[in-house]
C-alpha cells in the first residue's frame, strides 16, 4: 500500500513501480499488462491513479495503449540498464556518452543526527545516521566527491568497514532490504571550489564545481538517502533522464 506524500504524487510512485518492473523483465516487450482494475488492486490505489500512471508511461514510450488489446510493453528502454540506473551517476562526456565511475570510500561514520537531519529523514531527534564520504573517478581521473547519508534504523547490519561499503547503494538497498528508490529530487547550484574540492578533484584556482543536493525516496515516499555531490564539469555535463 502506498502512502500519499506531497513530495511524490501517488500516481508517480505507481508509475515508477511499473516502470521498474518492466525494466527488470517482469513484463517483457510485447506483453499485455493486467487491466487497470487488476493493477489498482495489486498496487492498492484507485483506478484513476493507475490510469494517470499509464498515461505518463505511454507518453514516455515505455508502453502503448491499443484498442481491444490493452496496455502493451513496447520494448523501448532508456540508454542505460537498470544496474547502471542504480549506480546513480549522471555525468556524461561532452559527446553525450554515459560514463562508468569507480567510487573509493574516504570515510564511514556513524553518529547522532542533528535536528535538521532528523527532520529531513522524518526521524526522532538524536537518531543514528550513517554517513559515507567517497570520491568518484572516471579513467582514474577524480571528477566528483560526495557525502551520502542514510538512517541507520533502515539498514541494520550495514557494513562498518570502509572496504565493505557496496559500490551500488541503490541496488544494495533493493537486494538487501527491499528498499526501492522510486524517486529522486535534485537541487543544482554552482559554487567556487573549496580547498577540499581542489584537493580531492585536482583543481586549480580559480575553479568552480557543480553542487547537487539530492534526496532519494523509497516506494512509500519516505526519504531514505540524502546526499551532496560536488563535481567538476570541465569535461563532463550533468544529465538527468526523466523516465
CATH of the domain at 19: 1.10.10.10
Contact (CB, 8 A) for 134 and 162: no
Cell 495503449 locates to: 65
Whole-angstrom CA distances from 209 to 15, 96, 206, 225 are 33, 19, 10, 22
Quick one: average pLDDT of 192-200? 96
Pairing of strands 236-238, 223-231: unpaired
Higher per-residue confidence, 47 vs 22: 47
pLDDT, averaged across the chain: 84
Q: How far apart are CA 105 and CA 169, in angstroms?
A: 12
Is residue 125 domain-shared with residue 170, that is, in the same domain? yes
Q: Can you give the CATH number for the domain in which 111 is found?
A: 3.40.1410.10
Report pLDDT for 106.
98
Please say which residue of 49, 73, 97 terminates a domain: 73
**119 and 47 housed in the same domain:** no
Say what the pLDDT of residue 82 is: 42
User: Where does a domain end: 27, 42, 73?
Assistant: 73
240: confidence class by pLDDT, cuts 50, 70, 90:
low
Q: Considering only 12-16, 68-72, 139-143, which range has the smallest mean pLDDT? A: 12-16
Same domain? For 105 and 43 the reply is no
> Are residues 96 and 39 part of one domain?
no
Q: Tens digit of pLDDT for each residue in 46-97?
A: 999 999 999 988 887 889 988 888 999 987 755 444 444 444 456 677 766 6
Residues in contact with 207: Cβ distance below 8 Å, sequence separation at least 6, in sequence order? 192, 193, 197, 198, 232
pTM of the model: 0.66
pLDDT (average), residues 207-232: 91
Same domain, yes or no, for 60 and 132?
A: no
Residue 243 lies in a domain: no
Is 27 within the bounds of a domain? yes
Q: What range does the domain containing 229 cover?
A: 82-237
Same domain for 34 and 51: yes
Residue 217 lies in a domain: yes
Please report whether residue 242 resides in a domain: no
27 lies in the same domain as 113: no
Q: Is residue 108 part of a domain?
A: yes
Q: Do 95 and 51 belong to one domain?
A: no
Are both 69 and 99 inside the same structural domain? no
- Do residue 61 and residue 163 come from a single domain? no
Number of domains the chain contains:
2
Residue 3 lies in a domain: no
The winner for highest mean pLDDT among 5-9, 53-57, 155-159 is 155-159
- Same domain, yes or no: 225 and 124: yes
Note whether 62 and 170 are same-domain residues: no
User: How far apart (Å, rounded) are the C-alpha atoms in residues 158 and 177?
Assistant: 10
Residue 41 included in any domain: yes
Amino acid at each position: 500500500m502506498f502512502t500519499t506524500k506531497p513530495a511524490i504524487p501517488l500516481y508517480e510512485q505507481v508509475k515508477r513501480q511499473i516502470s521498474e518492473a518492466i525494466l527488470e523483465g517482469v513484463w517483457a516487450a510485447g506483453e499485455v499488462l493486467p487491466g487497470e482494475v487488476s493493477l489498482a488492486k495489486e498496487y492498492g490505489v484507485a483506478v484513476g491513479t493507475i490510469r494517470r500512471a499509464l498515461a505518463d508511461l505511454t507518453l514516455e514510450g515505455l508502453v502503448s495503449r491499443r484498442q481491444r488489446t490493452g496496455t502493451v510493453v513496447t520494448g523501448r528502454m532508456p540508454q542505460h540498464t537498470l544496474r547502471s540506473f542504480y549506480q546513480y551517476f549522471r555525468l556524461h562526456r561532452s559527446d553525450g556518452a554515459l560514463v562508468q565511475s569507480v567510487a573509493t570510500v574516504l570515510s564511514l561514520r556513524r553518529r547522532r543526527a542533528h535536528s535538521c537531519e532528523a527532520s529531513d529523514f522524518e526521524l526522532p531527534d538524536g537518531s543514528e545516521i550513517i554517513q559515507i564520504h567517497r570520491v568518484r573517478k572516471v579513467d582514474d581521473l577524480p571528477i566528483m566527491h560526495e557525502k551520502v547519508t542514510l538512517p541507520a534504523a533502515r539498514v541494520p547490519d550495514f557494513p562498518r568497514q570502509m572496504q565493505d561499503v557496496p559500490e551500488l547503494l541503490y541496488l544494495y538497498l533493493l537486494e538487501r532490504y527491499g528498499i526501492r528508490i522510486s524517486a529522486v529530487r535534485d537541487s543544482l547550484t554552482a559554487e567556487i571550489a573549496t580547498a577540499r574540492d581542489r584537493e580531492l578533484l585536482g583543481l586549480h584556482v580559480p575553479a568552480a564545481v557543480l553542487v547537487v543536493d539530492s534526496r532519494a525516496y523509497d516506494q512509500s515516499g519516505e526519504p531514505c538517502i540524502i546526499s551532496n555531490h560536488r563535481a567538476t564539469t570541465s569535461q563532463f555535463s550533468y544529465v538527468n533522464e526523466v523516465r
